[in-house]
Each structure stands twice: as C-alpha cells, then as structure tokens.
Amino acid sequence: MVHFLSRRLLLTIPVLLGVATLVFSLIHLVPGDPVQAMLGDSASPNDIADLRGRLGLNRPLYVQYGSFLKGLAKGDLGVSLRTNQPVSAAIAERLPATVELATAAMIVAVLFAIPLGILAAVRAGTHVDHVATTLALVGISMPNFWLGPLLAIVFSVTLGWLPVAGRGTLAHLVLPAITLGAPLSAVLARMTRASVLEELRELYVLAARARGVSKARAVLRHAFRNSLIPIVTVLGLQVGAVLTGAVITETIFAWPGVGRLLIQSISFRDYPMVQGCILLIAITYVSMNLLTDVVYGLLDPRIRYE
C-alpha cells in the first residue's frame, strides 16, 4: 500500500506543477497590457509603473516564474489589488463556506441518487425504472444557472418558505445545496443503476440467492458493494464539477464562498486573487483524483499491484 501511495503521489507532482504553470500564465495571456486593464485607460504612467513593480511584471519572465513557485511553496499567493489583503488569507476566510456548500450538495446527491439508482436496477424495465430514468434525465438537463433562480422564485419569492440569499442558518443552505447537488445526483443515479444492474446479472448474486440469502442482502451486500468502483469514480470526478458549479450557485444565492470571490475578483480585475482562486479549485480537483485512486486501492486490493 505504501508503494501504491508513493507512486500516485509522484504522478501527482508534475500535474500540480503544470497547474501552477497555467495559473502563472494567466496574467501573461491576457490580451494587451494586464496592468493597463486593471487600472483603466485613465491611469497615469506613474500609476502603471508602480503597479507593474508591485506585481513584479517589470522583471524577466523566468524570475517571475521562480518567485511565483517560491511563493506557492510558502503559501504566499500575493496581495489583493482591491482590498490589500493577502490572497491566501482572503481565500481562507471564504473557504469554509464553499466546503459547507459542496459537502451539503454531495450529501443531497448521494442520499437521493444511490437509493434511486439501486431501486431502478432492482426494478429494471418496470414503471419504477422508467420514472427513475426520467428524473435522472431531467436532472442532467437542468443547468444550475437556470435551476437556482427557478427554486428561488418558487420557494423564496412565491411561497416565502426559504431565504433567497446569504448564509447563516440551515434554511439558507437548502436552495444552494439542491441547486448544486441536483445535476450530480442525476449523473450518480444513472451510474448506480448501470453498475448495480450489471452486478445483479453475475452468477455470484444468483448463487447467493440460491443459498437462501434475502434479496435485499444480495443487492446491498453483494451487488452494490461490488459496483462501488465506478460509483466512486463519478463521485471523485464530480467534486471538480461541484466546485465549478459553486461559482455560479454562490453568485445566484449571494453565498460568501470562494466561487463568489472569484466572480467579484474578475469584475474588479484583481488578477492576484483570480490566480489564487483558480489555483485552489485546480489543486482541489487534482487532490480529489488522487483520493479517488487511493479509495480504489481500498475497495479492490488487486488495483494496488497493477
């Protein structure tokens, strides 16, 4: 297991280095002069030169890159141009809200999708299966930038049951979590149905039933347990989608997380903050892929030695 983890960690290093390089290139890929874009056309030459010096853009590119990597190693992502606050500190303030929303969305998706997928697999070809498949198709077809305002109009504006924006109570979390978790639950339900249905056709499930094992135990203990690898794959990959969707969802519901901070920073052309937010999302995505590989090894020991 130690060799398995060491190999996965070594493979992650060049990926993280590539991510850091792309994020560093962000400010240099902006068309025109990024400093001029930050300050506007009315900025004086002295202000432009001052900001260029603060950002280190007056140094050779390789020196800037080396300083950027050294800063990352120390956890230094620079200083926000809008608030003069360290980027790492600003992100750390917003990160708990994003983690809370992402966790709630994943819980909503798992609690809804797993039972629905198992039920659809057990009742394959019946009306239950058709209803479950239809629900999953509807969930996949509804983007969060459309579902979020719709939920807000119905449950906040029309019915007045839930708050429309902000963070503070459990009620504030309901609509954003459903908005973010619904598309994930649809994908997860379809994958659960397909995986469990495939396992139910295997001989070992029929043998378990022939030995007198109850149908529920055969489904949950045997079929579902052996179908976890593709389900875990979807969960791991969808974490990145949840973080990406959080950018829109947090903006819709004024949720004070990293996604909303990213949108605000783009609006104010705060490039150091934009770089920090994008870097966090990318590193989280890579880290979850690594964690998914580790879970593979725990679910199926044969994978460790491949």
Q: Domains (ranges, CATH) in the chain? A: 1-82+268-306 (no CATH), 94-259 (1.10.3720.10)
Residue at 19: amino acid letter: V
pLDDT score for 294: 75
Mean pLDDT of the chain: 82
pLDDT score for 300: 67
pLDDT score for 5: 72
pTM for this structure? 0.81
Residues in the chain: 306
CA–CA separation, 190 and 242 (whole Å): 17
pLDDT score for 48: 77
Q: How far apart are the first and last CA of the chain?
A: 12
Q: Which residues pair with 79 in a beta bridge?
A: 86
pLDDT beneath 70: ranges in the chain: 1, 4, 27-28, 30-34, 36-38, 40, 297, 299-306
pLDDT score for 64: 80
Q: Is the separation of the CB atoms in 143 and 183 below 8 Å?
A: yes
3-state secondary structure the chain: CHHHHHHHHHHHHHHHHHHHHHHHHHHHHCCCCHHHHHHCCCCCHHHHHHHHHHHCCCCCHHHHHHHHHHHHHHCCCCECCCCCCEHHHHHHHHHHHHHHHHHHHHHHHHHHHHHHHHHHHHCCCCHHHHHHHHHHHHHHHCCHHHHHHHHHHHHHHHCCCCCCCCCCCHHHHHHHHHHHHHHHHHHHHHHHHHHHHHHHCCHHHHHHHHCCCCHHHHHHHHHHHHCHHHHHHHHHHHHHHHHHHHHHHHHHCCCCCHHHHHHHHHHCCCHHHHHHHHHHHHHHHHHHHHHHHHHHHHHCHHHHHC
